[in-house]
Amino acid sequence: MKKGLIHIYCGDGKGKTTASLGLAVRCAGRGRRVLIVQFLKSQDTGELHTLEKIPGITFLRGEESFGFYNQETNEQKEQRRTVYNKILQQAVSACREGQADLLILDEAVASYNYDLIDRALLLEFLRTKPEGLEVVLTGRGPAEELLDLADYVSEVKKVKHPYDKGIKARLGIER
């Protein structure tokens, strides 16, 4: 890959993270290095157990569990913001140092929308990212400025979801 592109997987349907992780497997399968950064997620999920075993795939995520954003106090949101900005800065530094061929910023769109990450830093990084770096952002409702920077935008649309019937996330399927 001489020119890395920017992808956004968005929409209200299930599968945005799953699509990005499929791309991570594909990329690592070709001997490339993948850095996966997760925002708004701290729980133990099935894909972590497998992906951490694949050479070339590295995860960067907060150790803290914050709960649901809309139920947090302003102080908790500020704590989250501090953690997420540290993680974003680490990812930017790693990519600028040539440590990744593919960067996945899972739930960066929502974090951007909630002002939980430094918007100026993310935009500047996307505009000036290393030439060969492929970048994926996931989340609902991407801002126009993110859409403008993207080369791919794929929308996952919910038609039906078991949660609407009260079925919670299941081990091995949703988590």
* pLDDT tens-place string over residues 73-98: 888 889 989 999 999 999 999 999 99
With pLDDT > 90 as the criterion, what percentage of the chain qualifies? Answer: 70
Residues belonging to the chain:
175
Residue 3 confidence (pLDDT): 94
Q: Is 86 helix (H, G, I), strand (E, B) or coil?
A: helix
166 confidence band (pLDDT: 50, 70, 90): confident
Task: Report DSSP state, residue 123.
Answer: H
Q: Does residue 167 contact residue 24 with C-beta atoms inside 8 Å?
A: no
Q: Does residue 109 contact residue 141 with C-beta atoms inside 8 Å?
A: yes
Q: Is pLDDT larger for residue 36 or for residue 69?
A: 36
